[in-house]
Amino acid sequence: MSVTFLPVRGLPEIRPNDNLAHILAQALRDDCTSGDVLVVTQKVVSKAEGRLVPLDTVEPSPFAVTFAQAWGRDPRHIEVVLRESRRVLRMGPGGLIISETHHGLVCAHAGVDLSNVDGGGSACLLPVDPDASAERLHVALSNTLGFPLPVIISDSFGRAWRNGIVNVAIGVAGMLATTDHRGKKDTAGYELHATLLATADAIAAGTDLVTGKTDAVPAVLVRGVAWQSGDGHGQDLVMESTRNLFP
Amino acid sequence: MSVTFLPVRGLPEIRPNDNLAHILAQALRDDCTSGDVLVVTQKVVSKAEGRLVPLDTVEPSPFAVTFAQAWGRDPRHIEVVLRESRRVLRMGPGGLIISETHHGLVCAHAGVDLSNVDGGGSACLLPVDPDASAERLHVALSNTLGFPLPVIISDSFGRAWRNGIVNVAIGVAGMLATTDHRGKKDTAGYELHATLLATADAIAAGTDLVTGKTDAVPAVLVRGVAWQSGDGHGQDLVMESTRNLFP
């Protein structure tokens, strides 16, 4: 069975209070078939949800000012990053901050992004609850289309020990986020002890290949994945603190 | 432009000293077209290269015995993991070892695997030099096919802070491993400071969706990726120690 990633074309620029589900449904109507998974980038979900903070409204703390000045960063951006963080893991060269967001996601700059937003005048925050955002899109689109359409909300994360970014799934609805092969036997009859596949992350990662960071392709249909229906969440991919070896 | 992941079917069980390039060429001949990328799992590359260690030939060190007994692990497996490691980052509950391999890869158990190998009687090591393995397959297959076929050797890695495994690229040949968007302007005219896309990792990750851990699909053709030709390597994805914030 092959798997195909299809960019969703023709979406307008998304703005606060846009009905994203309605806009996506219009764009998908002719292209989407039962069994597809829809991946939507965090950026358009956040924009539609109004998760934009004009930088000129941000009063940076002394801590944010000190760190930003040391690395030539905008103190207002650093301030927003700190507000979106539950805790900081590392503050590195170049003004890089690796922190844990209020959702438990560990990533650079708490997912706060200046790019692709109003020419840089606003910071774009992650959705308040990416799983709830995915669920709303999943329910609305499934109702409109007449079949269940799983929805993944993606964001591009750096990784420990590896260069470059890949997309991961920060919100999931309408499918299981992982595929559990633990306890199954492989073709040699040997038990696979540790094989929990991060299915939603694998789907999100593949969308990098069709979106392009400078193009405006904020949604991708993925066809042919043997996804499992169920009440999966992006939070299922967030490692429990008790298992975290890199706190 | 859509991207499609096509499983390569009909490959026999790979054994030491098999000519993997020849076997792949036979399987690909009718299916492969110019522009495709071939992803081959580490397991079959290692098998063809004879990177199998019969466990009954392994004399575990006292350190390996102590750690293995504490967690109900096979001391010979732990011994092989330590031998394949340059340094250990964490030794965790359940006998989990996170180490840096001699290639600089940070992963669980130094990529040493007991599954899918001879019913568990041998340990399968990573290739000695996955980039060289990829290069050999790339050169041989490109010559046979008459057009350049980039080759990625994949392995499934866990991640810090996230549950589940995804495939990553440990060897690359015939294409750039990353796509550099740094310095480009996005659609809002804002400069994208930090966007180095881990293209080869994104390609590898997507193959998880068609291979399946219990099926025997050790190779995947990826069609439609706008890969950049060049002398890329899996090592390009290994973060330099000077940039590593999680040593």
- Which of A52, A58, A51 is CA-nearest to residue A77? A58
Shortest Cα distance, chain A CAs vs residue B121, angstroms: 10
| pLDDT value for A222 | 97
Cα dihedral: A84, B166, B203, B80 (round 10):
130
Are both A87 and A141 inside the same structural domain?
no
Are both A185 and A215 inside the same structural domain?
yes
Angle (deg, nearest 10), helices A62-71 and A75-83: 130
Are both A144 and A91 inside the same structural domain?
no
B76: in domain: yes
Are both A153 and A43 inside the same structural domain?
yes
**CB–CB of B95/B67 below 8 Å?**
yes
Contacts of residue A238 in chain B, CB cutoff 8 Å? Answer: 161-163
| pLDDT value for A188 | 56
Could you give the CA distance from residue B237 to residue B46 in angstroms, rounded to a whole number? 20
Domain boundary among A125, A147, A176: A125
Are both A144 and A111 inside the same structural domain?
no
A119: in domain: yes
How many residues does this entry show for chain A?
247
CATH number of the domain enclosing A217: 3.30.1330.100
B247: in domain: no
Are both A33 and A155 inside the same structural domain?
yes
- Binary contact (A178, B164; C-beta < 8 A): yes
- Binary contact (A186, B108; C-beta < 8 A): no
A189: in domain: yes
Are both A141 and A215 inside the same structural domain?
yes
Q: Model pTM?
A: 0.95
Mean pLDDT of B133-141: 98
Q: Is B132 on the interface with A (CB under 8 A)?
A: no
Chain B nearest-CA residue for A208: B202
Domain boundary among A125, A154, A188: A125
pLDDT by residue for chain A (247 residues), tens digit each? 899 999 998 899 999 999 999 999 999 988 899 999 999 999 999 999 999 999 999 999 999 999 999 999 999 999 999 999 999 999 988 899 999 999 999 999 999 988 656 655 899 999 999 999 999 999 999 999 999 999 999 999 999 999 999 999 999 999 999 998 876 665 555 555 568 999 999 999 999 999 755 456 799 999 999 999 999 999 999 999 999 999 9
Q: Domain residues for B94?
A: 52-125
B1: in domain: yes
Take residue A204 and report the two structure tokens written for it. 């999100």
- Which of B76, B133, B78, B77 is CA-nearest to residue B103? B133
Are both A33 and A56 inside the same structural domain?
no
Residue A38 phi/psi, 5-degree rounding, is -105, 125
Residue B69 has pLDDT above 80, yes or no: yes
Q: Which residues contact B143 (CB under 8 A, 6 or more apart)?
A: none
CATH number of the domain enclosing A110: 3.90.1660.10
Say which of B178, B185, B192 has its CB closest to residue A164.
Answer: B178
- Binary contact (A237, B163; C-beta < 8 A): yes
Are both A115 and A142 inside the same structural domain?
no
Contacts of residue A202 in chain B, CB cutoff 8 Å? Answer: 166-167, 205-206, 208-209
Q: Is B94 on the interface with A (CB under 8 A)?
A: no
A247: in domain: no
Are both A201 and A145 inside the same structural domain?
yes
**CB–CB of A38/A218 below 8 Å?**
no
Are both B133 and B157 inside the same structural domain?
yes
3-state secondary structure of A170: strand
DSSP for B143-201, please give it.
HHHTS---EEEEEEEEETTEEEEEEEEEEEESS-SSEE-TT-B-TTS-B-SS-EE-HHH
**CB–CB of A79/A125 below 8 Å?**
no
Domain boundary among B86, B106, B125: B125
How do residues A177-212 score in pLDDT, each as one tens digit?
Answer: 999 887 666 555 555 556 899 999 999 999 999 975
Which one of A86, A161, A210 makes the best mutation probe of the B interface by having the most chain B beta carbons within 10 Å?
A161
Q: What is the DSSP letter of B234?
A: G
B154: in domain: yes
The total of structural domains in chain A comes to 2
Task: Please give the ipTM for the structure prediction.
Answer: 0.94
Are both A46 and A59 inside the same structural domain?
no
